[in-house]
Amino acid sequence: MDQSIIFDAELINRYDKAGPRYTSYPTALELHEGFGDTDYRWHIAKSNAAGGPLSLYVHLPFCDTVCFYCACNKIVTKNRGHAEPYLDNLCREIAMQGALFDSSRVVNQLHWGGGTPTFLNDAQMTRLMQTTREHFRLRDDDAGEYSIEVDPRETHAHTIHLLRRLGFNRISLGVQDFDPRVQKAVNRLQSEAQTFAVLESARSEGFRSTNIDLIYGLPLQTVTSFAQTLDKIIEAEPDRLSVFNYAHMPARFKTQRQINDADLPSPEVKLAILQMVGLRLTEAGYVYIGMDHFAKPEDELAVAQREGKLYRNFQGYSTHSDCDLIGLGITSIGRVGDAYIQNVKDLDSYARLIAHHKLPVFKGVDLDADDKIRRAVITQLICHFALDFAMIEQRFSLGFADYFAKELEALKPMQADGLLLLSADGISVSPAGRLLIRNICMVFDRYLAQKQQQFSKVI
């Protein structure tokens, strides 16, 4: 498979509009409060009847300090004691959910996200993993994909040793930018020494995959300054990089109001940074997976993409399309059977429901037949930059050209602009269209028109 990209500034400027990131279809905006505990239990029973492996996402919302750019669901506190009552309730939820799923189903994928999972101390992390093992069938052979997000500012060699002993084999380090001026502007002071010490500890402990997160579009960034950060990261050779576009939406995210708008790079500078990133990373031997992700050619994501096995879920790109995803903790989102489910978003509601032995479901959505068809189309496009019409026709017993007549017509201008190639057999996204894959997927999104203003721009 050709995994190259071509940067076309004129095309990107023309198509740069708001749109979803498609970690799910329908997107999380379609979840509603008419879906509750009873609905979720019905889908769990249906899922157990179908069988198959599981994926667990555990949300740990606490952060010691606030990063001004952050749009995650988080609770900022210096008081480490706040984690203990939450951990008590989280362990109770794990027990409740574990009792509902068939105990023979193996957990092939596990992810701790946040917030900052390493906000927990060693004893708390050990307790959380032990509780998970008591109620779900975790693997003991290190063959699963067990990952954790860490903040290098509060992660040390002994922490990495503990995480590896607990079963984690993949790690993601938040960096964003090494420029001291940028770090000060976003309230995230983090040295190179801290970062690379954690990376080296992870390698020495036998972590199979290392990822580093960067963000472009932050205040005071320039092409030159971000290139200096990127060069240092390339020299450290992580297996994967996530280079996210900063979406400045202060009306929705209060912490972003502490960023000085005048310090933000212009759209032209952001595009120049993106072009530089794509060029430097491909020259360094990384391949473009899609969206914001790059990986070494031998990385599992790159291999899965070449083999047509890549998948996308609420945690991003994945190699485990066969897993039902169980969300645990406040705000977490799962996908079980043909439904998406989200937990309540605040600590008090979460504690109250757990105390009454109720699943902390806040809202959800049942996918209808059309949702499942469009999800399959969007997943293929966003993961593989190609779509075989016959596969969709056989899977869903439909005629693609008839079912998607309007969408195929809407794709013709994109073909004329060189983003893709349409044929009687399918769609092939060109190297110039891959950075704009969200735009192509948006053509197939029947919910988009009324919700587009709630998304960030694609570039």
pLDDT score of 223: 97
- Token pair for residue 15? 């198509």
Nearest in space to 159 (alpha carbons), one of 96, 188, 130, 116: 116
CATH architecture entry for 25-325: Alpha-Beta Horseshoe (3.80)
- Identify the three-state secondary structure at position 416: helix
For the stretch 201-256, pLDDT in tens is: 999 999 999 999 999 999 999 999 999 999 999 999 999 999 999 989 999 899 99
**Quick one: which of 325, 330, 253 has its CA closest to 62?**
330
Return d(Cα 145, Cα 223) in angstroms, integer: 35
CA distance 175 to 191: 9
| pLDDT at position 9 | 86
* pLDDT attached to residue 322: 78
Share of the chain above pLDDT 90, in %: 86
pLDDT of residue 451: 60
Angle between helical axes of 83-100 and 347-355 (0-180°, round to 10): 50
CATH class for the domain made up of 1-24+369-459: mainly alpha
* Cβ contact 234:283 at 8 Å: no
Omega of the bond prior to 52 within 30 degrees of 0, cis? no
Please name the amino acid found at residue 276.
Answer: M
Cα gap 35→64, rounded to integer Å: 34
The C-alpha atoms of residue 413 and residue 423 are separated, in whole angstroms, by 14
Residue 74 to residues 67, 117, 162, 272: CA-CA distances in angstroms? 11, 11, 24, 31
**Hey, where are the domains in the chain?**
1-24+369-459, 25-325
Q: What is the pLDDT of residue 454?
A: 58
Q: What is the pLDDT of residue 450?
A: 60
Specify the pLDDT at position 424.
96
Tell me if 1-24+369-459 shares its fold with 25-325.
no
For the chain, list residues with pLDDT below 70.
1-3, 449-459
What is the arrangement of strands in the sheet containing 386-388, beginning at the earlier edge strand? 386-388, 426-429, 420-422
